[in-house]
Amino acid sequence: MMAGKIHLSILLLLAALLLQALDTAAITDTDDLAGLQALKSIWKNTPPNWEGSDPCGLGWEGISCANTRVISITLATINLSGQLSSDIVKISELQTLDLSYNKEMTGPLPQAIGDMKKLTSLILVGCGFSGPIPPSIGSLQQLVHLSLNSNGFIGGIPRKIGKLSHLYWLDLADNKLTGTIPVSNGTSPGLDMLLKTKHFHFGGNQLSGEIPSRLFNSNMTLIHLLLENNKLTGDIPSTLGLVKALEVVRLDRNSLSGPENLNNLTHVQELFLATNKLTGVLPNLTGMDSLNYVDLSNNSFDATDVPPWFSSLQSLTSLIMEMTQVQGPLPSSMFGLPQLQTVKLRYNRINGTLTIGPNPSSQLQLIDLEDNFIDAFTQQAGLHFQIILVGNLICHEDETQSYCKFPEQSAPMYTTPLENCNPQPCTEDRVFSPSCKCAYPYMGTLFFRAPSFSNYGNSSIFAYLHKNMTASFKSHGLPIDSISLSNPTKNIDNYLLLSLQVFPSGQDHFNRTGISSIGFMLSNQTYKPPKEYGPFYFIANSYPYFIGLQASSKKSSSGIIIGAAAGGSVLVLLLLMAGVYAYRQRKRADTADRRNDPFAAWDSNANSGGVPQLKGAKSFSFEELKRITNNFSELNDVGSGGYGKVYRGTLPHGQLIAIKRAQQGSMQGGLEFKTEIELLSRVHHKNVVSLVGFCFDQGEQMLVYEFIANGTLKDSLSGKSGIRLDWMRRLKIALGAARGIQYLHDLANPPIIHRDIKSNNILLDERLNAKVADFGLSKPMNEPERGHVTTQVKGTMGYLDPEYYMTQQLTEKSDVYSFVVLLLELLTARSPIEKGKYIVREVKQAMDTGKEMYNLEGILDPIVASSPSPRSVERFVDVALRCVHESGESRPHMSEVVKEIENIMEAAGYNPNAESASTSASYEGHSKGSNHPYSNQSLFSYGGNYTSNSKFDST
Ligand SMILES: *[C@@H]1O[C@H](CO)[C@@H](O)[C@H](O)[C@H]1NC(C)=O
Ligand SMILES: *[C@@H]1O[C@H](CO)[C@@H](O)[C@H](O)[C@H]1NC(C)=O
Ligand SMILES: *[C@@H]1O[C@H](CO)[C@@H](O)[C@H](O)[C@H]1NC(C)=O
């Protein structure tokens, strides 16, 4: 007995001694320890096991060591926050540093980073870093992988990066970099020296100047050249052809001219040159036999006949050439190219007969030839793809054919299917995995910058990616159970977006090591997607689910699991509340800032890009607009309103424009200004007013629109503009406006709710085509909120959807309501609220369906009451009243409204697609000095004050 006790205590003593010995014999190098401890002291949310003084021996999460030295720090997506201080330099053997997807990692990179001589991978994707990229990065001689994309870096690309002779991957995209692309000049280095680099990803910055012809040479091995969405000017250098390995060339959305010659780019598979200033003859792409995807849209080429290469490029999947002045008939053989998927040739001068066949590509999904001059179509039976011929001669004569209508929007849907089970609801934020378990997935978005395909409706291509990705993740030993991909969409950058969910194996959540290693797999490009997908990047959502849940993996009592989960959710709730509070505080601060600096809003939003992503809209300098308007002379002043003044001007190439200039010092509508630019630059439809450009220079906010000759519908209805709107014209205006709104709801990307449909915001061009204007209050319906948005009620009293007013839930049906008020205005020529009477109620009360014109003669505008087609007026009233249904759900969709108005017009013997013959010239007495459309004060948003409708007092 006694002996036994002694024995035990000796054992315990020994064990204690041993533990102590282990502790003192820490294996981690002291400098590395000092470095990590310094970082730990300034970072928040470091892994909880960062305790003790032996990171290597104790296995700190995210740290890997070789013997005593720390060689890798990978902490992707762990909600880390703080700055990267020069303490990192103490960890002098570090080879890999990945802090990606920690949005709260902010501040500049330390200059001392150049001392980390062993660094091979510096990966800081999707963080909040700012300031200039330190030139000392050029001293990191071993660097192979440099990814600084999706941060807020400013300044130029350091020319010393040219000294990184081992660099393979250089991604600086989606920052705020300025200046020119540096090339070597005998004494200083430049990017042309990067002979081993395969990836130049510089898109989404503000790089300017010419693309130096010296940038390219025949010793380079570059395969992906991505310069899209910058401010580059000058000719596309012909030296580009020297780089034989090039596969992807994206130069779109710059101001480039040329090009002289492109057909020595024989290996290029994806060529994006859209939205530049290319002039002269169309590039000759003959011989570019590897070309899959080509987009030359939106340039200023000379009118050119359909080139022979349309039918000879055997690898072509996607031919996108909108607004390029291509003319003549399309050869039927082009549709037989074996891989062809998409042909988009909108807004050209294609004429003659469209013949598809005899054996069109089996992969074809869309032929969009909207607004050309095609007059006949030999249709084959059983075509399996969409053809759009809206706006062609053939549709002016007979618009009943399906190809004369815009297709119902059918977003290509793909979601990784479940493996043999039915979907089940999951508790908390857990998601049902493809392998039929509820768990907290790691989520984010994959952005493919230049896929070679465009048939997103073909799910096999996504199934293939899914299979490839699952196999790759598993072969790298990641703790994953399954992967789900969903929602393929194209964004305004023409990138393919896919939502990614990665599910944990064995438990319902990942630990930090699991998360960071998946993050690293994607941030470091360890995962390589199939070749068709081209270059990609990934942005992760934050992953809050390791908090408080770790206990649950140790003990198995369900009580503890539930308790921990509940604790976790309380914590999440508290965090959320703190977040909301912080957000409110910040918003308050922002608002205060904006009062001092109207353009703070453009810069403050580092993550959303700050400066809006624009498609085709030009940024004007103040000086330019000053010149165009003759120093904003009174003579060019065409109206004014609460927002400021509106001036007419003419651009150098003759286009008439209207310039809406915000009042100086007036911060009103600052945010609306930005919204309007972003939205307008993406919408292109003949019934929507188009934005030509904007100016945010020298403290000014100006919007530049196409000039719409006949002012607002309001002015015409009130007699102010001197245009007589007979019943047929009113129907046509109603139809145009309806089509414009339908376009916003169904075809714009993202879909848009206008939120301020009213007669003041419908403009009439010289042919009295209606154009929807003024997007100051509009809301894009982004993916997560598709369906409805909860938002502060804004709009104009009288037009406001009562359901939206009461629930604050904005849906597209709110626009339907406002549109109907507009229909009633067309019928009665009265303002929605006049002398305290509400037009909707007035019409409903007066109505007697048993009588001719529903007994509404007393309320109808005399021009309408004397319509030659009383039945059409009745049907019009029917449509209107169906749309003012109190419940949004019972109101028809805008596309149905469009159809109904078309039917009414046809029944009354009017062609809904006919151009009005008369132009404004036939109307004399066009009153001078009438308020110009753009002068309306719609940017006065009614943020809660609905008492009066000052906009209708003017008459
Ligand atoms: C286009 O290039 C091909 C091959 O380089 C050449 O044969 C053809 O004549 C060129 N076409 C035109 C219109 O220049
Ligand atoms: C098509 O357009 C071309 C060029 O504008 C013209 O020469 C030709 O006559 C047109 N063909 C038809 C069938 O209208
Ligand atoms: C779908 O994609 C696969 C793989 O790219 C292709 O083989 C198949 O022909 C496509 N199917 C259709 C209908 O386009």
Cβ count near 783 (within 10 Å) = 12
Q: How far is the CA of 460 from the centre of ligand 3 (A)?
A: 7
Q: What is the pLDDT of residue 694?
A: 87
Ramachandran region, residue 391 (left: φ > 0; alpha: ψ -120 to 50; beta: rest): left
Q: What is the pLDDT of residue 669?
A: 55
Q: What is the pLDDT of residue 933?
A: 36
Candidate ranges 733-737, 848-852, 920-924, 925-929; pick with highest mean pLDDT: 733-737
Confidence of residue 190 (pLDDT cuts 50, 70, 90): very high
Q: What is the pLDDT of residue 567?
A: 39
Q: How far is the CA of 457 from the centre of ligand 3 (A)?
A: 10
Looking at the chain, the whole-number percentage of residues with pLDDT higher than 90 is 46
The residue nearest atom 12 of ligand 3, judged by CA position, is 363
Of the ligands numbered here, which is closest to the C-alpha atom of 289?
A: 1
Confidence of residue 955 (pLDDT cuts 50, 70, 90): very low
Instruction: Evaluate whether 688 touches 740 at the Cβ level (below 8 Å).
Output: yes
Q: In angstroms, rounded to a whole number, what is the distance separating the alpha carbons of residues 519 and 500?
A: 12
pLDDT at 910 over 60: yes
- From the CB of 287, is ligand 1 less than 6 Å away? yes
The residue nearest atom 3 of ligand 2, judged by CA position, is 328
Q: What is the pLDDT of residue 945?
A: 27
In the set 368, 756, 801, 815, the catalytic residue is 756
- From the CB of 372, is ligand 2 less than 6 Å away? no
DSSP 386-455: EEE-TTSHHHHH-TTSGGGSPPPP-----BPPPSSS-----STT-EE-TTS-EE--EEEEEEESS-S---
606: tokens are 């580092």
Q: In angstroms, rounded to a whole number, what is the distance separating the alpha carbons of residues 291 and 294?
A: 7
Q: What is the pLDDT of residue 708?
A: 85
- Atom of ligand 2 lying closest to residue 351 CA: 1
Going by C-beta distance under 8 Å and a sequence separation of 6 or more, which residues neighbour residue 587? none
- Atom of ligand 3 lying closest to residue 458 CA: 1
Q: How far is the CA of 692 from the centre of ligand 2 (A)?
A: 30
pLDDT at 8 over 70: no
Q: What is the pLDDT of residue 405?
A: 84
Domains present along the chain, CATH in parentheses: 30-297 (3.80.10.10), 431-540 (3.30.70), 713-907 (1.10.510.10)
- From the CB of 325, is ligand 2 less than 6 Å away? no
Stretch 501-523: mean pLDDT: 93
Q: How far is the CA of 355 from the centre of ligand 1 (A)?
A: 25
Q: How far is the CA of 308 from the centre of ligand 1 (A)?
A: 9
Q: What is the pLDDT of residue 433?
A: 93
Confidence of residue 310 (pLDDT cuts 50, 70, 90): very high
- Which tens digit of pLDDT belongs to each residue from 405-429? 887 755 557 889 888 888 888 887 8
Report strand pairing: 833-834 vs 104-107.
Answer: unpaired
Q: What is the pLDDT of residue 164?
A: 97
What number of CA atoms fall less than 13 Å from residue 815's CA on the CB side? 30
pLDDT at 890 over 50: yes
Task: Single out the residue of 488, 513, 517 nearest to residue 500, CA to CA.
Answer: 488
- Atom of ligand 1 lying closest to residue 263 CA: 5
Of the ligands numbered here, which is closest to the C-alpha atom of 330?
A: 2
The residue nearest atom 13 of ligand 3, judged by CA position, is 363
- From the CB of 782, is ligand 1 less than 6 Å away? no
Q: How far is the CA of 240 from the centre of ligand 1 (A)?
A: 19
Q: What is the pLDDT of residue 158?
A: 97
Q: How far is CA 864 from the centre of its chain?
A: 43
Beta-bridge mates of residue 344 = 320, 368
Q: In angstroms, rounded to a whole number, what is the distance separating the alpha carbons of residues 204 and 624?
A: 25
What number of CA atoms fall less than 13 Å from residue 264's CA on the CB side? 12
Query: Of the given ranges (151-155, 693-697, 743-747), which has the lowest mean pLDDT?
Result: 693-697
Q: What is the pLDDT of residue 379?
A: 75
Residue of 286, 310, 326 to test ligand 1 pocket, by largest number of atoms within 8 Å of CB? 286
Q: Residues with beta carbon inside 6 Å of ligand 3?
A: 362-363, 455, 458, 460-461
- From the CB of 392, is ligand 2 less than 6 Å away? no
- Atom of ligand 3 lying closest to residue 341 CA: 14
Stretch 914-920: mean pLDDT: 48
The residue nearest atom 2 of ligand 2, judged by CA position, is 328
Beta-bridge mates of residue 343 = 319, 367
Task: Single out the residue of 884, 843, 845, 885 nearest to residue 864, CA to CA.
Answer: 843
Q: What is the pLDDT of residue 380?
A: 73
- From the CB of 563, is ligand 2 less than 6 Å away? no
Q: What is the pLDDT of residue 120?
A: 96
Candidate ranges 480-489, 631-640, 775-784; pick with highest mean pLDDT: 480-489
- Atom of ligand 3 lying closest to residue 363 CA: 14
Residue of 260, 262, 284, 291 to test ligand 1 pocket, by largest number of atoms within 8 Å of CB? 284
Q: In angstroms, rounded to a whole number, what is the distance separating the alpha carbons of residues 176 and 611?
A: 9
- Which tens digit of pLDDT belongs to each residue from 520-578? 999 999 999 999 999 999 999 989 887 643 333 333 333 333 333 333 443 344 334 43
The residue nearest atom 7 of ligand 1, judged by CA position, is 286
Burial of 388 (0-12, 13-18, 19+ CB in 10 A): buried
Q: How far is the CA of 312 from the centre of ligand 1 (A)?
A: 12
- Atom of ligand 1 lying closest to residue 287 CA: 4
Going by C-beta distance under 8 Å and a sequence separation of 6 or more, which residues neighbour residue 269? 247, 248, 290, 291, 292, 293, 315, 452, 534
Q: What is the pLDDT of residue 754?
A: 87
Interhelix angle 870-883/894-907, rounded to 10 degrees, is: 170
Q: Which residue has the higher pLDDT, 191 or 26?
A: 191
- From the CB of 351, is ligand 2 less than 6 Å away? yes
Q: What is the pLDDT of residue 929?
A: 34
Stretch 814-829: mean pLDDT: 90
The residue nearest atom 11 of ligand 1, judged by CA position, is 284
Query: Of the given ranges (447-461, 596-610, 702-716), which has the lowest mean pLDDT?
Result: 596-610
Confidence of residue 136 (pLDDT cuts 50, 70, 90): very high
The residue nearest atom 4 of ligand 3, judged by CA position, is 461
Average pLDDT score, the chain: 81
- Atom of ligand 3 lying closest to residue 384 CA: 13
Query: Of the given ranges (25-39, 55-69, 406-420, 680-694), which has the lowest mean pLDDT?
Result: 406-420
CA dihedral 678, 679, 685, 687 (to 10 degrees): -130
Angle, vertex CA 623, rays to CA 621 and CA 626, nearest 5: 115
- From the CB of 328, is ligand 2 less than 6 Å away? yes
Q: How far is the CA of 398 from the centre of ligand 3 (A)?
A: 34
Q: In angstroms, rounded to a whole number, what is the distance separating the alpha carbons of residues 43 and 47?
A: 10
Stretch 320-330: mean pLDDT: 94
Q: How far is the CA of 339 from the centre of ligand 3 (A)?
A: 9
Instruction: Evaluate whether 148 touches 193 at the Cβ level (below 8 Å).
Output: no
Q: How far is the CA of 690 from the centre of ligand 2 (A)?
A: 29
Q: What is the pLDDT of residue 13?
A: 53
pLDDT at 100 over 80: yes
- Which tens digit of pLDDT belongs to each residue from 352-376? 999 987 789 999 999 999 989 999 9
pLDDT at 604 over 60: no
Q: In angstroms, rounded to a whole number, what is the distance separating the alpha carbons of residues 804 and 814?
A: 7
- Atom of ligand 1 lying closest to residue 309 CA: 1
Q: What is the pLDDT of residue 409?
A: 59
Confidence of residue 640 (pLDDT cuts 50, 70, 90): low
Of the ligands numbered here, which is closest to the C-alpha atom of 287?
A: 1
Instruction: Evaluate whether 646 touches 932 at the Cβ level (below 8 Å).
Output: yes
Q: What is the pLDDT of residue 553?
A: 34
235 is catalytic: no
The residue nearest atom 3 of ligand 1, judged by CA position, is 286
pLDDT at 602 over 60: no
- From the CB of 286, is ligand 1 less than 6 Å away? yes
Q: How far is the CA of 334 from the centre of ligand 1 (A)?
A: 18
- Which tens digit of pLDDT belongs to each residue from 341-355? 999 999 999 999 999
The residue nearest atom 9 of ligand 3, judged by CA position, is 363
Stretch 96-120: mean pLDDT: 96
Q: How far is the CA of 264 from the centre of ligand 1 (A)?
A: 12
- Atom of ligand 1 lying closest to residue 284 CA: 1
- From the CB of 284, is ligand 1 less than 6 Å away? yes
Looking at the chain, the whole-number percentage of residues with pLDDT higher than 70 is 81
The residue nearest atom 8 of ligand 1, judged by CA position, is 286
Query: Of the given ranges (418-422, 615-619, 923-927), which has the lowest mean pLDDT?
Result: 923-927
DSSP 308-346: GGGGT-TT--EEE--SS-EEEPPPGGGGG-TT--EEE--
- Which tens digit of pLDDT belongs to each residue from 259-274? 667 767 888 999 999 9
